[in-house]
Chains A and B, each alone.
Chain A
Amino acid sequence: MKKFNIAIVGLGGQGIITMGTVMKNAALSSDLQDVSGSERRGGAQREGYVETFVKYIFYENESEMKDPRKSMHSPMIESGGADALISLEPLETLRGACYLNKNSIVIFNKTPYIPISVRMGQTSYPEISFIVSELMKITENIFYYDFDAISLENFNSLTQKNIIALGALFAKAVIPIDIAAIENILKKGKGSENNLKAFKLGLKL
């Protein structure tokens, strides 16, 4: 059995849950494959921390798939258990860093959304350099972009940043899912033209 775990974190309203849904739908083709992962929906639309997990499971054979000691999977990723982390907000990357190990790949968005505690002057927002140096203590595979800017520039709106980030993940990490499978899912969904364009933009990063 092989597993590939992806954690996606950010804020409510950024399209985190959509990213997870697209990734999971791309994994339906094979019978020896399972996919799950829970979502934290509490903060949706309200700038709270949101995370979603995508867990791909590949069984070696049918008997392994039926083995009760192998076929039941937690909806969560354990600490250090993520092969990849996508974060759509710089500070939240550090909150999601608990899922990282030394081989994990990190893709994060550079545009900060300032929490109230910082607004009120009670705490300060960490510099990007601090975020990168803390992540570097765990893994060296770090990529960051201004997904907000790329989305604004190309679509005149912030709504495509999640799909651009998804493209960036496929550009930088070896994901055991075909790029074409993701594109097929995007094709079927709403706003397919923009989503396909956004995914391709991400792939070129």
Chain B
Amino acid sequence: TKGDKAIVLGNEAIARGALEAGIGYASMYPGTPASEIIAVLDKNKSSIENLYTEFSLNEHISLHGAIGASWSGIRSLCAMKNVGLNVASEPAQFLSYTGVKAGLVLAIGSDPGAPSSSNEQDDRWYSLHNYMPIMEPSNIQEAKDFTKDAFDISEEFSFGVVLMAPSRLCHNAGALYFGDLRDRSDIKGDFKKDPENYLNLFGMAVRNHAKYLERNELLKKYLIESKFNKIINGSSSKIGFISSGVVYAHLMESLDILGIYDHKILKLGFTFPLPGELIGRFFEDLDKVVIVEEAEGFLEFQIKKIAYELGFKGAIYGKEFFKQTGELTIDDVIIGISNFFEKPLPAYFDFAVKKDKELKDKLPQRSGTFCIGCPHRATFYSILKAVGFSNTEGKEREAVIAGDIGCYTLGLLPPYNAMDFLTCMNAGLGIGQAISIFDKQKKVIALVGDSTFYHSGIPVLLNAVQNGSDILYIILDNSWTAMTGHQKTPSTQKDIDGKPSANVLNLKDLVKSLGVSYVKSLDPNSVKRFASQIKSALKEPGVKVIIAKRECILQEARRNKILNKKGSGFTEAGESLYEIQKSRCVKCNECFIELACPAIILKKDEETGNDYYYIDPASCVKCGVCCEICPNGAIRKVEFDLKTEFKLRQRAEVKSAEEDTNEVRINV
């Protein structure tokens, strides 16, 4: 309720802003870092009157859904990650032609530095072409407040409004003051025909094009005096800074750290469109302007054009001081400002940066990997076995493996290195099917997850069938959009509370109906069977599909926990578990490096000093794959009590414990 204060994520603040604006529709195709925006609404929808939420099959559909809701008079929120707008760029383009009825906000989670993406594109550039206004909140409070206001602006100027939030804001957790919620009882759809705006053909399209250019001019006028763009006056300095979004927050803290307070600052809440009059007002008395922003310089591009039109005689700096690639961190901003003023860096900061450079070279890299018990690990192990490849031998893998987007993308990392290319959703089969036509010498395998397949893979598969490709397509069907926090897919059989889903799709039948005659569906954790199936499929001509069907281990384990069921899942005391018998293990590395399950660890025998492999009972989830692949029969299932085992372990370590007690306190 109003006035309440709580710790929320940036994404949750956006969702709250949308609720305060009275949305009745919220949708997205899940994508990090934006997923929680819709997930939090979806989770709570039973307690929110007249709220429809949807995890759409892709971003194109999701934005169209939001448009349909808007035209029915329902305020609608559509969220996506940065690359999602590529998929939704077509509806976005038309949205400016047609305009909205009820407010429509498109919340985009951008991902500079690409910690969870396959590129770091800056979606703001789209607006130079589709004219969607862009708002950039700088902190959690603004994320909520801007979102709420965005709906009013959307309605007033009849544009879909983009709310841009980088991962640093989406996943910033901090204090938020709530505002009032609107009465939701009157949220009801009523589609009113509007052929003037909604029909676009020939001259109608040209007329609507002219109309949105006019609306853009009106919005520009409004933004000259709006509360969103703020000028903070300096003292007599002739230097000014322009920034927006999270980078503005970096800028303000950096200036505070550096003790610089006397320069003029323009905070842009709207980074498109930019009113010339506002920029001109800021330029007054300045002879140097520094634009602090991430990526290629969207603001610099616009502001230099405005400066030319205004005849501004001063100098404008930007990308000379702030890098174009990777995330622009607070460190980058501190360094950029110091360089601009030719001032030395603060000593503590300089020391830490140098020490870090020196240290990082000495540290082993750590890359993510599949969860313990993940069926994808078994799938990759089987694929590599089937094409006769070993992680340890160091010879080239002949078969081409086409990658795609999802948890299984981690298969491109060591030790598997099992992908030859990775770009966008469904590029794996799209590019792979053409390679199979032109390179007849190599076997081509394309991978895809269930969610990615449903996103836009069906036409690609149909295309491959229609045009005579020779490719093995493996669909890793784990029943969930797992990587983004487990949203449902058409493959989801039952929810984590055990409730069966309505409308479960039979994937095998779907694939068959597309004209694929070779379709197999099996459990990848039966690695021997699975590998031999891949081997025989590779001998067949044409398009072959193998569905690696096994549910995400995390969801299975969560369900077991909720329903209080034993079975595969996380270990509790007194359960049977796998163990490696020291006497039989010859350290052939089949489990340790080829399969590379993180539950199998290297330990030192205190008496002999020899290394041995050991299954950590606190981590193992009993998937049993290591047991199946061990060529020496060294892995067996035993009754196990975690607590007893821990005590045994402790006793072994007691000898060396004298100088190595639990606490070591050094010169405090």
Spot the interface stretch: B151-159, B352-360, B455-463: B352-360
Contact across chains for B330 and A76 when beta carbons are under 8 A apart: yes
Nearest 5 CB-CB pairings of A with B: A36-B174, A80-B352, A48-B368, A98-B356, A123-B364
When distances are taken between beta carbons in the complex, the residues of chain B under 8 Å from A60 are none
Quick check: is A102 within 8 A (CB to CB) of the other chain?
A: yes
When distances are taken between beta carbons in the complex, the residues of chain A under 8 Å from B249 are 72-75
Q: List 6 A-B contacts (CB under 8 A).
A: A72-B249, A78-B253, A78-B331, A80-B349, A117-B364, A123-B365
Spot the interface stretch: A137-145, A175-183, A189-197: A137-145
Contact across chains for B363 and A95 when beta carbons are under 8 A apart: yes
Within 8 A of B (CB), among A33-84: 34-43, 45-49, 52, 68-70, 72-81
When distances are taken between beta carbons in the complex, the residues of chain B under 8 Å from A79 are 331, 349, 352-353, 356
| Contact bitstring A104-117, B, C-beta under 8 A = 1, else 0 | 00000000011111
Q: Could you tell me the distance between the alpha carbons of A142 and B355 in the complex, rounded to whole angstroms?
A: 17
Q: Could you tell me the distance between the alpha carbons of A141 and B664 in the complex, rounded to whole angstroms?
A: 11
Quick check: is B500 within 8 A (CB to CB) of the other chain?
A: no
Quick check: is B593 within 8 A (CB to CB) of the other chain?
A: yes
Which interface class (under 10, 10 to 19, 20 to 34, 35 or more) fits A?
A: 35 or more
When distances are taken between beta carbons in the complex, the residues of chain B under 8 Å from A114 are 601-602
Q: B175: which of A11, A28, A98 is its contact (CB, 8 Å)? A: A28
Q: A72: which of B138, B171, B172, B407 is its contact (CB, 8 Å)? A: B138
A146 to chain B minimum Cβ distance, whole angstroms, is 6
Contact across chains for A138 and B171 when beta carbons are under 8 A apart: no
Quick check: is B431 within 8 A (CB to CB) of the other chain?
A: no
Contact across chains for A37 and B174 when beta carbons are under 8 A apart: yes
Question: What 15 new A-B contacts, CB under 8 Å, besides A34-B175, A141-B668?
Answer: A21-B173, A37-B173, A45-B554, A47-B368, A72-B249, A74-B249, A74-B253, A75-B169, A75-B172, A95-B366, A120-B414, A126-B362, A143-B663, A145-B663, A150-B662
Quick check: is B371 within 8 A (CB to CB) of the other chain?
A: yes
Contact across chains for B364 and A124 when beta carbons are under 8 A apart: yes
Quick check: is A100 within 8 A (CB to CB) of the other chain?
A: yes
Q: Could you tell me the distance between the alpha carbons of A115 and B369 in the complex, rounded to whole angstroms?
A: 9
Q: Could you tell me the distance between the alpha carbons of A83 and B395 in the complex, rounded to whole angstroms?
A: 49
| Interface hub of B248, B573, B601, B663 (most chain A Cβ within 10 A) | B663
B447 to chain A minimum Cβ distance, whole angstroms, is 18
| A76-B168, A101-B351, A140-B667 given; A153·B554 CB < 8 A | no
A60 to chain B minimum Cβ distance, whole angstroms, is 14
Contact across chains for B573 and A12 when beta carbons are under 8 A apart: no
Quick check: is B246 within 8 A (CB to CB) of the other chain?
A: yes
Q: Could you tell me the distance between the alpha carbons of A183 and B407 in the complex, rounded to whole angstroms?
A: 36
Q: B356: which of A97, A116, A148 is its contact (CB, 8 Å)? A: A97
Number of interface residues of B (CB under 8 A): 85
The chain B residue with its CB closest to the CB of A140 is B667
Q: Could you tell me the distance between the alpha carbons of A43 and B371 in the complex, rounded to whole angstroms?
A: 10
Q: Could you tell me the distance between the alpha carbons of A78 and B348 in the complex, rounded to whole angstroms?
A: 10
Contact across chains for B369 and A46 when beta carbons are under 8 A apart: yes
Q: Could you tell me the distance between the alpha carbons of A95 and B391 in the complex, rounded to whole angstroms?
A: 27
When distances are taken between beta carbons in the complex, the residues of chain A under 8 Å from B348 are 80-81, 101-102
Q: B174: which of A24, A120, A172 is its contact (CB, 8 Å)? A: A24
Contact across chains for B256 and A69 when beta carbons are under 8 A apart: yes
| Interface hub of B353, B363, B643 (most chain A Cβ within 10 A) | B363
Contact across chains for A72 and B252 when beta carbons are under 8 A apart: yes
| A37-B174, A132-B666, A143-B665 given; A69·B650 CB < 8 A | no
When distances are taken between beta carbons in the complex, the residues of chain A under 8 Å from B261 are 69
When distances are taken between beta carbons in the complex, the residues of chain A under 8 Å from B663 are 143-145, 205
| A140-B666, A144-B664 given; A98·B256 CB < 8 A | no
The chain A residue with its CB closest to the CB of B359 is A94
When distances are taken between beta carbons in the complex, the residues of chain A under 8 Å from B362 are 126
Q: Could you tell me the distance between the alpha carbons of A141 and B167 in the complex, rounded to whole angstroms?
A: 32
Quick check: is B510 within 8 A (CB to CB) of the other chain?
A: no
When distances are taken between beta carbons in the complex, the residues of chain B under 8 Å from A158 are 618
Contact across chains for B7 and A28 when beta carbons are under 8 A apart: yes
B345 to chain A minimum Cβ distance, whole angstroms, is 9
| Contact bitstring A81-99, B, C-beta under 8 A = 1, else 0 | 1000000000110110111
Contact across chains for A125 and B369 when beta carbons are under 8 A apart: no
When distances are taken between beta carbons in the complex, the residues of chain B under 8 Å from A73 are 139, 249, 252-253
| A75-B172, A78-B349 given; A49·B366 CB < 8 A | yes
When distances are taken between beta carbons in the complex, the residues of chain A under 8 Å from B592 are 119
Contact across chains for A46 and B410 when beta carbons are under 8 A apart: yes
Contact across chains for A37 and B650 when beta carbons are under 8 A apart: no
Q: B32: which of A42, A123, A137 is its contact (CB, 8 Å)? A: A42
When distances are taken between beta carbons in the complex, the residues of chain A under 8 Å from B573 are 156
When distances are taken between beta carbons in the complex, the residues of chain A under 8 Å from B414 are 116-117, 120
| A74-B250, A117-B414 given; A39·B5 CB < 8 A | no
Quick check: is B6 within 8 A (CB to CB) of the other chain?
A: yes
When distances are taken between beta carbons in the complex, the residues of chain B under 8 Å from A91 are 363-364, 366
Quick check: is B115 within 8 A (CB to CB) of the other chain?
A: yes
B578 to chain A minimum Cβ distance, whole angstroms, is 18
Q: Could you tell me the distance between the alpha carbons of A145 and B365 in the complex, rounded to whole angstroms?
A: 23
| A97-B355, A132-B666, A141-B668 given; A28·B248 CB < 8 A | no
Quick check: is B336 within 8 A (CB to CB) of the other chain?
A: no
Q: Could you tell me the distance between the alpha carbons of A50 and B173 in the complex, rounded to whole angstroms?
A: 15
Contact across chains for A36 and B252 when beta carbons are under 8 A apart: no
The chain B residue with its CB closest to the CB of A40 is B115
Q: Could you tell me the distance between the alpha carbons of A148 and B253 in the complex, rounded to whole angstroms?
A: 37
When distances are taken between beta carbons in the complex, the residues of chain A under 8 Å from B392 are 120
The chain B residue with its CB closest to the CB of A54 is B173
Contact across chains for B331 and A25 when beta carbons are under 8 A apart: no
Q: Could you tell me the distance between the alpha carbons of A26 and B405 in the complex, rounded to whole angstroms?
A: 38
Q: Could you tell me the distance between the alpha carbons of A34 and B167 in the complex, rounded to whole angstroms?
A: 21
Q: B596: which of A37, A119, A140, A149 is its contact (CB, 8 Å)? A: A119
When distances are taken between beta carbons in the complex, the residues of chain A under 8 Å from B232 are 68-69
B360 to chain A minimum Cβ distance, whole angstroms, is 8
Contact across chains for B175 and A36 when beta carbons are under 8 A apart: yes
| A68-B230, A73-B249, A75-B172 given; A137·B355 CB < 8 A | yes
Contact across chains for B173 and A115 when beta carbons are under 8 A apart: no
| A69-B261, A156-B642 given; A38·B364 CB < 8 A | no
When distances are taken between beta carbons in the complex, the residues of chain B under 8 Å from A120 are 391-392, 414-415, 593
The chain B residue with its CB closest to the CB of A168 is B663
Contact across chains for B5 and A140 when beta carbons are under 8 A apart: no
Contact across chains for B352 and A43 when beta carbons are under 8 A apart: no
Q: Could you tell me the distance between the alpha carbons of A141 and B254 in the complex, rounded to whole angstroms?
A: 27
Quick check: is B222 within 8 A (CB to CB) of the other chain?
A: no
Within 8 A of A (CB), among B202-250: 230, 232, 246, 248-250
Contact across chains for A28 and B666 when beta carbons are under 8 A apart: no
Quick check: is A167 within 8 A (CB to CB) of the other chain?
A: no
When distances are taken between beta carbons in the complex, the residues of chain B under 8 Å from A172 are 668
Quick check: is B370 within 8 A (CB to CB) of the other chain?
A: yes
Contact across chains for A98 and B371 when beta carbons are under 8 A apart: no
Q: Could you tell me the distance between the alpha carbons of A69 and B254 in the complex, rounded to whole angstroms?
A: 10
Q: Could you tell me the distance between the alpha carbons of A61 and B364 in the complex, rounded to whole angstroms?
A: 47
B234 to chain A minimum Cβ distance, whole angstroms, is 10
When distances are taken between beta carbons in the complex, the residues of chain B under 8 Å from A15 are none
Contact across chains for B173 and A134 when beta carbons are under 8 A apart: no
